[in-house]
Structure 1
Amino acid sequence: MRTGEGYFSGAFGARLFYRCWRPEEPRAVLVIIHGFGEHSGRYTDLATHLASRGFAVYAFDLRGHGCSPGQRGHVDTWRDYWYDLAFFRNVVESYERQTPLFIYGHSMGSLVVLDYLTYQTSGLQGAILSGVLLEPGKVANPLLAGIAHLLSRYHPTFSLRLGLDARALSRDPGVVEAYRKDPLVHNQASARWGSEVLKTIASVKAQIKNIRDPLLILHGEADTINRVEGARWLFREAASIDKELRVYPEGYHEPHNDLQKEQVLHDITDWLQRHL
């Protein structure tokens, strides 16, 4: 396996950072879109596991995250994420020509992927959605939602701490401690970002019947950041004929980093192999 890093041009010329983990002869490619406040480097264990089984993995840091530029936790419009993903896909496909392509989105990344799939005749082999952001937890209460919409009009870059509790990510203390000490992790969200998240959730729900790609949906049953009801709704309402839901009993927000990690890695690998 070879690892690499680089930059590509996203929407409006943004210079976005990416990582890759590549076996000598990839059987398929997986593009990972990370969650809010984190970065692509937190997926090294998942990527290494998959690369050892013949899958090339590419992941980039969303604008305002990780090693990519921009105000932390801010986006002018959700379309920027959409185009960044589209541009990154073009870059990956130029490197891995005629290789089957899958996409993986966790938490906020799942919403980026779902929005992408509602507007895109994808040509993908399938999509994996983890910690699905369709029914957010307490951080999206009606009062905060109203404030975000108001400030988004008059002061879009106004930033607040989102209030995510690192202990809600995983039952593994080592994962929580590493997250807290990670200098590339942040907890800031702008008013525009909050408003755009809520609008995109509504848009995805209104257009869910446009999603027909094969889906694997992963969610921790005890996730308090994004409630499991969102994953169950997605499984029920997506038009995909080929769709599977894995709910992990007592699991927290990051299935790939929680105590049932080995089962999750097995489920992901098995699903990818069956969809080649």
Structure 2
Amino acid sequence: MDRPSEEKTVWLTAADEHKICLYCWETAEKPAAVLQIFHGMAEHAGRYGRLAAFLNSHGIAVFGNDLRGHGKTAQQNGKPGVTGKNGFYRMVEDQYLITKELKQRYPEIPVFVLAHSFGSFVGQEYITRYGNEIDGIILSGSAAQIGAEIRLGKLLSRLQTGIWGEEKPARLIEKLSFGTYNKKIAEPKSSFDWLSRDETEVRKYMEDKDCGFTCSAGFYYYFMSAMLNLYDEKKLGNIPKNLPVYLLAGREDPVGNYGRKVEKLYEIFDSLGQRDLKMKLYEGSRHEILNELNRDEVSGDILNWINSHIAI
């Protein structure tokens, strides 16, 4: 995604002294709302500049950090794809640190979250802990991560960490996780075609040195472990019933099993009694809906949803 000229970065320090890079796209005037972005696996927050520029033009300030093991945060602290012990839950706490920072910077301004792909699972965990701290969440390219493949992923990553350590790239797990994602695409031109129908956007991803790397065995171990605990009924019961939740995904997104796991996630939220729950599946779209051919439609839907909740 293109980066607007007004983009800047600041650094925050987590409780464990980990340095977190935060991208800031602020509006010239007092914003009507603030959007905090949780990006996906093997990418970085800088890719959301195009969305930020659009939302800025409509009075919404946008912030997003490079997660542990990603982008400038990884450059400052270590290696790409390496998140450290309990990395997944530490990422959740990093997001809360940023939320608090944004609420201090913009008191009485509503704060919304847009959480994409891997970031959406961070977001699902986040709202079981801190759902009362935000005014709504958009889960993009998400899914209900329930199934035997999660247990297998945890087992394999635990075996690898035991043999080679947590920082070793988990190439086998990566292949098992993503190796079939192009299966429904006729004559794919790259291993990343499942991201978008827009060949230019796929090429930009592949040429970005901070994208497409292999995450570590430790990254997967803590991620899979968290997923096995996420859908506990008591834990999910901590999500505020009045928290607005908006699920967005491409119908041709393999992460959401072509809509089926997104619909399952909707059913889970609905069974919890969420009073403001909405889902939209974009026909033909793949995983990165903000980099898809219909990205203007998606950006407009995000803007309209935020605006519809500002005065609530």
TM-score (norm 2): 0.82
Number of the residue aligned with 2:118 = 108
**Counterpart contact for 1:136–1:226, Cα < 8 Å:** no
Number of the residue aligned with 1:214 = 244
The SS at the match of 2:82 is coil
Amino acid at match of 2:211: V
Gaps of 5+ in 1: none
Amino acid at match of 2:276: D
Number of the residue aligned with 2:198 = 172
* Residues 1:272 and 2:306 are matched in the alignment: yes
Give CA-to-partner distance per residue, 1:87-146, whole Å, 9 cap, x none.
111222222122110011000100111101112242311000001043499xx5775543
Amino acid at match of 2:116: H
Shift in Å, 1:21: 1.1
The SS at the match of 1:158 is coil
Counterpart among 148, 152, 156 of residue 147 in structure 1: 156
Evaluate the alpha carbon distance shift between residue 46 and residue 170 of structure 1 in structure 2; reply closer, same or farther with a 3 A threshold.
Answer: same
The SS at the match of 1:273 is helix
* Larger strand share, 1 or 2: 1
Shift in Å, 1:11: 3.7
Amino acid at match of 1:73: G
Number of the residue aligned with 1:7 = 11
- For the residues of structure 1 that align with 2:123 and 2:150, how far apart are their CA atoms? 24
Gaps of 5+ in 2: 179-190
- For the residues of structure 1 that align with 2:213 and 2:143, how far apart are their CA atoms? 17
Number of the residue aligned with 1:125 = 135
Counterpart among 43, 49, 59 of residue 48 in structure 2: 43
Shift in Å, 1:166: 1.7
- For the residues of structure 1 that align with 2:131 and 2:261, how far apart are their CA atoms? 23
Shift in Å, 1:225: 3.3
Give CA-to-partner distance per residue, 1:209-260, whole Å, 9 cap, x none.
4323210100111112342322212211113210100111121001111112
Shift in Å, 1:202: 2.2
Evaluate the alpha carbon distance shift between residue 92 and residue 59 of structure 1 in structure 2; reply closer, same or farther with a 3 A threshold.
Answer: same
* Residues 1:71 and 2:75 are matched in the alignment: no
- For the residues of structure 2 that align with 1:11 and 1:107, how far apart are their CA atoms? 25
Amino acid at match of 1:275: H
Number of the residue aligned with 2:265 = 234
Evaluate the alpha carbon distance shift between residue 234 and residue 136 of structure 1 in structure 2; reply closer, same or farther with a 3 A threshold.
Answer: closer
Counterpart among 223, 228, 241 of residue 197 in structure 1: 223
**Counterpart contact for 2:33–2:109, Cα < 8 Å:** yes
Amino acid at match of 1:10: A
Shift in Å, 1:158: 2.1
Count of equivalent residues: 275
Number of the residue aligned with 2:291 = 257
Counterpart among 41, 61, 66 of residue 61 in structure 1: 66
- For the residues of structure 2 that align with 1:134 and 1:202, how far apart are their CA atoms? 11
- For the residues of structure 2 that align with 1:74 and 1:232, how far apart are their CA atoms? 31
- For the residues of structure 1 that align with 2:39 and 2:214, how far apart are their CA atoms? 16
Which region of structure 1 is more displaced relative to structure 2, 95-104 or 3-12? 3-12
Number of the residue aligned with 1:21 = 25
| Structure of higher CA gyration radius | 2
Which region of structure 1 is more displaced relative to structure 2, 95-104 or 71-80? 71-80
**Counterpart contact for 2:153–2:221, Cα < 8 Å:** no
Amino acid at match of 2:21: F
The SS at the match of 2:170 is strand
The SS at the match of 1:89 is helix
Counterpart among 203, 210, 213 of residue 187 in structure 1: 213
Give CA-to-partner distance per residue, 1:149-175, whole Å, 9 cap, x none.
322445222213334532111100010
